[in-house]
Amino acid sequence: MCIAAWVWEAHPLYRLLLVFNRDELHDSLWMVGDGGRKILGGRDGLAGGTWLGCTRNGRIAFLTNVRETCSLPVPKSRGDIPVKFLEGEMSPMEFAEEVVEQGDLYNGFNLVLADLRSKSMVFATNRGPVAIELVSPGLHVLSNGSLDSPWPNQQRQLPDTGYGSDVEFEVSSIFVDAELDMVKSWKQMQVEYQIEESEK
């Protein structure tokens, strides 16, 4: 189970406070670093993408998977989406609109993009209903459902995603500790961002 909780533009010291947990299959190895790119975040050892990253110029991206019983036979890697945003120059809204147009090439995802310079944050998903929305200041939670939705694991319940209650119980914890091929990754980020302006 992936889950993220964050405070956006509502803390007196930080523009963003974020905690993020990712549970993924062991064959999706992860490494810290970006292989020479200017991105701070985890890196998928197989596909090379990331689930959470930021840059020195104030761009932040993270995603969670949408739980589905059926997946595409040859999908594009969801982990490439945050990397493309972080390496690019498009605004969060422009990028979200572009990636959602190509959403049927990916398995289900929820995506959050932020640009601290412009004080903009956007949520996008490619699963029902497809949505793009500005994220308002305040406290937000995102798991395997939509933004701030009452997803069962946020309420200490089990979702009905077709995997059966035994599997759902084993993977429902924020920190999965089961006899399943899972790896745990927990990250905490607080961002204090200053825009330095030179006098002319």
- Structural domain boundaries in the chain: 3-182
Q: Which residues of the chain have pLDDT under 50?
A: 26-27, 30, 153, 174, 180-185, 187, 197-200
In the structure encoding, which two tokens stand for residue 82, read together?
Answer: 């945050």
CA dist., res. 112 & res. 134, Å (int): 10
Q: From the centroid of its chain, how far is CA 165?
A: 25
The CATH number fitting domain 3-182, selected from 3.40.50.720, 3.60.60.10, 3.40.50.960, 1.10.3720.10: 3.60.60.10
pLDDT of residue 144: 82
CA dist., res. 83 & res. 48, Å (int): 9
> Who's near 116: CB < 8 A, 6+ residues apart?
15, 16, 58, 59, 60, 191, 193
Residue whose token pair is 């119980």: 169
pLDDT of residue 133: 96
Q: For residue 190, give the nearest of 38, 15, 17 by alpha carbon.
A: 17
Q: Residues 164-185, buried b or exposed e (16+ Cβ, 10 A)? A: eeeebebbbeeebeeeeebeeb
Q: At what angle do helices 80-87 and 92-101 cross, to 10 degrees?
A: 140
CA dist., res. 129 & res. 144, Å (int): 14
CA dist., res. 69 & res. 71, Å (int): 7
In the structure encoding, which two tokens stand for residue 103, read together?
Answer: 């959403």
